[in-house]
Amino acid sequence: MERDKTRLTEAKIRLETELDRKSEELGELKGDVKKISKERDELAGKYETLSLEKIEIQSTRKYLEKELGETKNSLARHEAEEIRKQKEFEQRIHKLDSAEKSLSDERQRIRREDEEAQANILEEQTRIWNDHEQIVLSRLREACQKPALGFMLHDNTTLPSLFTKLKPDAIIPFLSQYVVFDAKKSKSIRTYIPEQVKSTARKYKDIPEIYRTVFFVVPTNELQELKIQSFIEE
């Protein structure tokens, strides 16, 4: 009986020891479970945070993609507008160049026409002058040849030696003097005649053989432009 009791005691001790060990292991396991649970909670929190960050990042990405798309569209519109403006500018430059060329051509045409007109006017004035001079000589010659007058007329090809340098258009001998006739024609008769009066007076003033009155013969239409038709020059 004693032996059985001893064995039971030893068995009890072993069981208690095993129970303590198991309890200790259980405590360690509980600690591990708490640790794992805590880590799991931390991971869950991190996961939730990451999920929120992911949602925020995705939202930001969508916003940025939208902004990028709008920026690209705006840039495309801006580039298209710049291209349109550049084409419009080039068209305006081309039109301006064409207008300047047309204006230059028109100015040259007007200048040529003006030069031609001036040349024609000068040619016509020269023709009228020649005709006027010849008409004056012809009329003077006709008048001098009338029987009632019978004057001798000298034109600039048959002048006496006294007039070699003076060269009037025509002279008529009268009472021991010579009456001078000059055919005058100018595009500015108002200034031309007074100038001719002065220069003619200087040429003839010291020649007593020349009659003191010199006759300038001008076309009738130009005679109307002269406010003064007789001049006295000392």
Question: DSSP string of 9-47?
Answer: HHHHHHHHHHHHHHHHHHHHHHHHHHHHHHHHHHHHHHH
pLDDT tens digits along 87-135: 888 888 888 888 888 888 888 889 888 888 888 877 877 777 777 788 8
Q: In this predicted structure, what is the pLDDT of residue 187?
A: 63
103 lies in some domain: no
190 lies in some domain: yes
- The tally of domains found in the chain comes to 1
CB 139 within 8 A of CB 155: no
Domain of residue 141, residue span: 120-223
Contacts of residue 179, defined as CB under 8 A and 6 or more positions apart, other chains included, come to 171, 172, 173, 211, 213, 215
pLDDT tens digits along 192-216: 777 877 887 788 777 888 888 888 7
139 lies in some domain: yes
191 lies in some domain: yes
20 lies in some domain: no
pLDDT tens digits along 138-190: 888 888 888 888 888 888 888 888 887 778 888 888 888 988 887 776 666 67
14 lies in some domain: no
Q: Is the pTM of this model over 0.85?
A: no
204 lies in some domain: yes
128 lies in some domain: yes
Instruction: Please tell me the distance from the alpha carbon of residue 178 to that of residue 171, in angstroms, as a whole number.
Output: 6
Residue 50 has pLDDT above 80, yes or no: no
Residue 230 has pLDDT above 80, yes or no: no
